[in-house]
Amino acid sequence: MTTPFLSANEVGTAGARTLGGEFYTSREIFERERERIFSRRWVCVGREQQLAGGGYFLRDVAGESLILLRDQAGQVRAHYNVCRHRGSRLCEEASGRLAATIQCPYHAWTYALDGRLLGAPGMEALAGFDKSAHGLAAAAAGVWEGFLFVSLAQQPEPLEQAFAALAGKFARYELPRLASVRRIDYDVRANWKLIVQNYSECYHCPGVHPQLVKLSPADSGKNDLTSGPFLGGYMSLPAGAALTKSGRRCAIDVGPLTDEDRQRVYYYSIFPNLLLSLHADYVMVHTLWPLAPDRTRVECEWLFSPDAAGRNGFDPDGGVQFWDETNRQDWHVCELSQQGVGSRAYRPGLYSPRESISAAFDREVLRALAE
């Protein structure tokens, strides 16, 4: 595919324009994103805690079904869900527990959790058959701050190196030990990029989120990550306030936070599909899964300190209900944008100065597509 459209967003913040309509409607660009972004970058696929006690789960990444698990030595693995014999799917259930092996339901080829072929009935009669040459294909897998990431690239940049700019940045929030208390999945009829762009600015908040701006002014805060794959900053809260239905905290601190942290909510996008919202009393996580140019599944989880349950004042529904309502307001305007960018009348519009992170996200998309 030719790329003359890459000039749709001017370099820099001043004068930056939104992307052309084809970025949200074109099947060709959608497939290019699948190949250049979701098949090459480190993509967030879940939480490390999902693998506890021998658990596994399946995740579709750029059209490939992967089995996420820990092997006998405790190493995180992401095996392609494809038998090396005739290509049958190995695991059918979306999640479950494995004993010591993975067995193909078709011809009973059996694999160790690390992917080695252990048994292939009848193949011993085939001269020269070497089990060591028929192990499961695997994607690169790793853990960052309790989140599982995979890359389908043949030789991806090491995860620690790719995320070096974030080393220690969120340590005080103790993300690896937080427990998932609620999850809501949303089917949003909008392109995945519109959702990230919406998350990255509060220019829209006064008209769309009246309950949010009562607690956290739309023009408050400051961005500290302003270019590259990691973007965002914080917005302010009055002392003692929290983003809950009551406006009061719904749990104890998630970690050893400062008074400054308690009067802020940090919002970061981790390119391409993780949105991380850090509150003092809980952490909200969105993971985005593009299904079509105009459709995205959004998985939203609320994480709390494992010490919060049973404490006085523990009310996770307060935070969940606040953001479920806010999320649905966002999805509505994203869907309205999706409807409009497909019009012949649409032309790239100027970003406001308060949308600089959205413009920076667009530049990262364009850079990835041009690689």
User: Which token pair is 353?
Assistant: 């100065």
- Average pLDDT (127-140) is 96
Q: What is the largest CA-CA distance in the chain?
A: 75
Residue 72 has pLDDT above 60, yes or no: yes
Domain count, the chain: 2
pLDDT value at position 51? 97
pLDDT value at position 3? 33
Pair (80, 206) in one structural domain: no
pLDDT tens digits for 231-256? 999 999 999 999 999 999 999 999 99
Pair (152, 222) in one structural domain: no
pLDDT value at position 15? 82
pLDDT value at position 99? 85
Residue 7 has pLDDT above 60, yes or no: no
Judge whether 346 and 338 are in contact, CB under 8 Å.
Answer: no
Q: Compute the distance between CA of residue 347 and CA of residue 198 in angstroms, rounded to an integer.
A: 18
Burial bucket for residue 330 (CB in 10 Å: 0-12, 13-18, 19+): buried
pLDDT value at position 231? 98
Query: Is residue 240 one of the residues assigned to a domain?
Result: yes
What value does the mean pLDDT of the chain take? 95
The pLDDT confidence band at residue 14, using thresholds 50, 70 and 90, is: low
Pair (27, 56) in one structural domain: no
Share of the chain above pLDDT 90, in %: 94
The pLDDT confidence band at residue 290, using thresholds 50, 70 and 90, is: very high
Domain interval for residue 316: 4-39+178-370
Query: Is residue 247 one of the residues assigned to a domain?
Result: yes
Pair (226, 275) in one structural domain: yes
pLDDT tens digits for 316-356? 999 999 999 999 999 999 999 999 999 999 999 999 999 99
pLDDT value at position 13? 59
At residue 187's C-alpha, the angle toward residues 68 and 350, to 5°, is 110
CATH number, domain containing residue 28: 3.90.380.10
Pair (215, 81) in one structural domain: no
Pair (303, 188) in one structural domain: yes
Pair (210, 124) in one structural domain: no
Pair (198, 332) in one structural domain: yes
Query: Is residue 189 one of the residues assigned to a domain?
Result: yes
Give the least confident one: 7-16, 139-148, 175-184, 329-338. Answer: 7-16
Pair (130, 275) in one structural domain: no
The SS3 assignment for 308 reads coil
pLDDT value at position 124? 87
Query: Is residue 172 one of the residues assigned to a domain?
Result: no
CATH number, domain containing residue 145: 2.102.10.10
The pLDDT confidence band at residue 28, using thresholds 50, 70 and 90, is: very high
Pair (116, 204) in one structural domain: no
